[in-house]
Amino acid sequence: MAKNNRPMTDIYNVERNSLPIECRWLHRLINRRSYKLTVLTIVCTLNIVDLLIDWYFLFSKTAILKGLVFGPPPYDILLAMLIFCIISTFTSLLEIVQTVRDTCSNRLTSLFGQITNCLTIWLEDFPFLTLNLLIVICHDGEVTYVSIAKAAIGIVAAFIRFLFILLNKWLIRHDYRRKDRLSYFFNTISTVGVVFVLILSISIHVIASLPIDSFGRIHLESPSNFSRVEFARQKYFRNVGLFVRSSNDFDKYIYLTDIDDIIKEGQKTIIYSMNEKESIFCVKQMNQTCFIELNNTNIDLYDKPLTNKLINYSITFEFQKPDSGYLLGDIHYNIMRCDLKDFHIDGDKISLHYYRFKRSFNQSKSSVVYTQYNNTYHYYDVENDFEPIEHVWRTGLSRCTSTSSLNPHRSTNVTMNDCY
């Protein structure tokens, strides 16, 4: 077979003249040096920004602590994010290197460049956006200008990638059947991937910008007026109280205060007193109220002189404002024995827990339950009086199981008030 000795310029002219007239201006455009340098700049910028966002997103999620309502994402989600961050680092570097080579060679995207572009879309953009979507549907939205900017960048990046594929591969290259079936395959896969990336970016933006309240209604609010804490108070904190477990029964609890009250006041101190020999306990906020346990079921008010001294415990609760660790803040507490301030108090001695009163609960909140028709008192019972907080704190559009803490966190950083 005779060797084709025609110079490349002649071949280029033949291919250019064989193009339809309406495509020739596009052919001239993408063969300009300035166009290739522009593509190189955009590809490098997009990949670097993508990498920074991916790793920042991973580190921001690993920094989340167990606070009110929200905790860190599940371990398998974090592990998948780490794996795809590592993969995306390699694919992004490959795409940058290949784009530099194509630009230096003054040629259209090579087959290897098409492969790296396809890998970047399917091994970086698509899986990471999918994981982001799984996290977003378990949250109540992030109505901030930053989140809107992130979504906008993702949508713009998808459009730019699609435009490059359209210009370089579909409108210009009419010789797939004659020369390069693999190019046709990878460009088709890349196009499908870009469409999915665009759909995911728009979905994440819409879901993140439209949180749903406790009644299932879309909460429309501008970023400047949206308060996550106020939104959470209406959806998650209403009628959620802090309870101390009875010393005699794991399923019996004594009411101390509401989460909402601690958030409003910032800090709150309660005196909890016990006389275990006589089965007496007292709760004091403004005024002290004492009760005596009659049997495993019933208790009664106690207003007689005590034969044994009460042991008083001062419990100070403090609201930790939302930050990158505690998405909706957290409740920290510190505890001390009033007569022995350096005495170590074991966590099982005074156990605290969040519970929400059942919707059928229609009496005023007090330390214990008062039954009016027979004038008796009894402890709050887990089965009869509460809705489990893990059911109340189902989060986001898909009502995901909360990964938060079901108890306030003990912290020595909370400043103790004197016993009063």
Q: Into how many domains does the chain fold?
A: 2
Per the listing, tokens 């920290």 go with: 332
Instruction: Quick: pLDDT tens for 68-98.
Output: 999 998 999 999 999 999 998 998 898 888 8
Q: Report the distance separating Cα 67 and Cα 259, nearest Å.
A: 13
The 8-class DSSP code of residue 336 comes to: E
Residues 151 and 251 in one domain: no
User: Is 171 exposed, middle or buried (CB count within 10 Å of its CB: 0-12, 13-18, 19+)?
Assistant: middle
Q: Note down the domain range covering 29.
A: 8-209
Q: Decide: helix, strand or coil at residue 331.
A: strand
Half-sphere exposure of 149 (CA within 13 A, CB side): 6
Phi then psi for residue 392, to 5 deg, are: -70, -40
CA 95 to mean position of chain CA atoms: 30
| Residue whose structure tokens are 């949180």 | 211
- Residues 267-323 have pLDDT tens digits of 999 999 888 778 888 998 878 888 988 877 788 888 887 766 788 899 999 999 988
Instruction: Calculate ∠ Cα 133-138-144, nearest 5°.
Output: 75
Alpha-carbon distance of 76 to 328, in angstroms, equals 23
Interval 142-165: pLDDT, tens: 655 555 666 677 777 778 877 777
304 within a domain of the structure (yes/no): yes
DSSP per-residue letters across 355-374:
EEE-TT--S---SSEEETTT
H-helix or E-strand containing 86? helix 75-104
Q: Are residues 193 and 341 in the same domain?
A: no
Tell me, yes or no, whether 197 and 264 share the same domain: no
Question: Phi/psi of residue 19, each to 5°?
Answer: -75, 150
Is 419 part of any domain?
Answer: no
Residues 185-234: pLDDT tens digits?
887 888 888 888 888 888 887 887 777 666 556 666 555 555 677 778 77
pTM for the model = 0.79
Residues 198 and 272 grouped into a single domain: no
